[in-house]
Amino acid sequence: MNTLDAIQDTYAPDIKHWVFLRGLGREQAHWGDFIQRCEAELGWHCHAIDLPGFGSEHQRPSPLTIADIRRDVQQRLPQYIANTGQAFGVVALSLGGMVALDWLAMAPQDIAKAIFINSSSADCGLLQRIKPGAITATAHALLATSHATQESAILKMVSNNNTQHAELLGQWCHIRQLRPSTKRNVLRQLIAASQFKSPSVASIANAKGHFISSRADRMVSYKCSEYLANKYHCWLTLHSTAGHDLPIDDAAWLIGVFKTIQG
């Protein structure tokens, strides 16, 4: 069941905990106040888990496969969630969505609902996964010698709401100072992402997924989310103007979608 604009969906009302996964080169601090807003406005109990090599895990190497990243994240699932024995929800952005897809395929009993935001897979096609303009922006960010130049290039690539770029740039540079990520780990994530193909239809429980994307994403084409939603017979909801980092560009709209998914 799939539509470009419908957001009518349901999830099991007893989902008490939600795990949040970020994308390429990002960590939990890059959610800003989005997670706190989900807790306040949706009544969710939220927990962000950093991918290996970033955030709380920035001193470790990033694995070279999505499966190994997923296993690492699984091992760091908070005990207060794991001990309940209840399935939890996942909100996963970009590369985090690949991790969630692999998790849903390998341990479907863990996840009650997965919300994928601007994600993709190798079978979506290279120029859909990373648009030509984003290739240049990514190369500029990787070759930049200062954190400010790197973060500025990333911000312009993932966000279309430039009214907040000055404030965000300062915040993101501060994050880099606190928990510096390395270009090596970003490259290792890129290698992992480049090899990841979406799991078979048989391995994914259709009712568990809802895909959200933006038509104006300048990094990854919304057609990747469209492809995955069609493949797994899941709902797809599209934003018309936001960039790749939807939680930054239009948090209120995204939380509104979550409310509708929540029923």
Please indicate whether residue 12 or residue 199 has the higher confidence score (pLDDT): 199
SS (H, E, C) 69-108: HHHHHHHCCCHHHHCCCCCEEEEEECHHHHHHHHHHHHCH
Q: Is the pLDDT of residue 3 over 60?
A: no
Question: What is the total residue count of the chain?
Answer: 263
C-beta separation of 7 from 261 below 8 A: yes
Q: Is the pLDDT of residue 206 over 70?
A: no
Mean pLDDT within 216-241 = 97
Q: Is the pLDDT of residue 262 over 90?
A: no
Domains of the chain by residue range: 17-129+181-262
206 secondary structure, DSSP code: G
What's the CATH fold of domain 17-129+181-262?
Rossmann fold (3.40.50)
pLDDT one-digit tens code per residue, 170-199 = 999 999 999 999 999 999 999 999 999 999
Average pLDDT, the chain: 93
Q: What pTM was computed for the model?
A: 0.93
pLDDT one-digit tens code per residue, 125-184 = 998 999 988 888 888 888 888 999 999 999 999 999 999 999 999 999 999 999 999 999
